[in-house]
Structure 1
Amino acid sequence: MRKRVVLDSSAIAGATYDSERRTLVLEFREGDTYRYFAVPQFAFDALLVADSAGAFWNGVKDNYRYELLD
C-alpha cells in the first residue's frame, strides 16, 4: 500500500511510502526527488512525527540505498 504525505518541513515537501516494496520517495523543496530502498515502516513513522523531518532524515539516510529520480 502506498501512502503520500505532505510534510510541514523546510527541507522536505512530501513523502510517499510503499509498505509492500518498502520504498520511500522524498520530494525535497530544493527540487530533487530521491527513492530510498529497504526502508522499514518504523523509519517512515518516525519521519512523520519528528520535530524536524529534514534533520531526522539527514541522520538516518545513509542506512538506505537510494537513487535520484528525474
Structure 2
Amino acid sequence: MKAITVGDQRIECDELEEGRHGLVLYQDDRIVGYVPYDRLECVAQTRSPVASSSIRSIGYDDEADELEIEFQSGGVYRYAGVSQETYEEFLSARSHGTYFHENVRGQYDYHRIR
C-alpha cells in the first residue's frame, strides 16, 4: 500500500498504524514514515494478493501505466508502459508465473523498488 500526502508525496509501506495525530508507516517491521492526518490525502492499496508459487501480489497504477509485482522472494518490481488490459489478463491468468514469463518479462522497462 502507499500513503499519499497533500503534496503528492507517495510513501510505500506494507503496514500502518493509526496514531493520535497521524499514521505511522511500516515496511518489514521498521518505520518508514509518519504522515500527520492534516497532510494525508489518502491511503491506497497498491497490490492484490494472488495464488502463485512465484508471485505474491500484483498491482497497477493506471495514472502512470505501471505494473507492480511482488515476488515470493520479497522483491518488488515496477514495469513501465503496461496497459490496463495486460494487467487485467495477468490478474485473471490461470498461472501467474507463466503469464509473467510469456507476457511481461523482457517486454517492458522495469526497476526494483524493494
TM over 0.5: yes
Asked if 1:40 corresponds to 2:88, the answer is no
Q: C-alpha displacement at 1:4, in angstroms?
A: 2.4
Q: C-alpha displacement at 1:9, in angstroms?
A: 1.0
Secondary structure of 1:17's partner? strand
Same amino acid, percent of matched pairs: 31
Give the number of equivalent residue pairs.
70
* Structure with the higher fraction of residues in strand conformation: 2
Query: Is there any run of 5+ residues in structure 2 with no aligned partner, and where?
Result: 1-43
Instruction: Give the RMSD, CA atoms, in angstroms.
Output: 1.6
Tell me the TM-score normalised to structure 2 length: 0.56
Instruction: State whether residues 2 and 19 of structure 1, in contact with CA within 8 Å, keep that contact through their aligned partners in structure 2.
Output: no
Which one of the candidate residues 48, 55, 58 is aligned to 2:98? 55
Query: Is there any run of 5+ residues in structure 1 with no aligned partner, and where?
Result: none
User: What is aligned with 1:65?
Assistant: 109
Instruction: State whether residues 3 and 16 of structure 1, in contact with CA within 8 Å, keep that contact through their aligned partners in structure 2.
Output: yes
By relative contact order (CA 8 Å, sep 6+), the higher-ranking structure is 1
Structure 1 runs of 4+ aligned residues shifted over 2 Å read 1-4
Q: Larger C-alpha radius of gyration, 1 or 2? A: 2
Structure 1 Cα separation of the partners of residues 45 and 62 of structure 2: 6
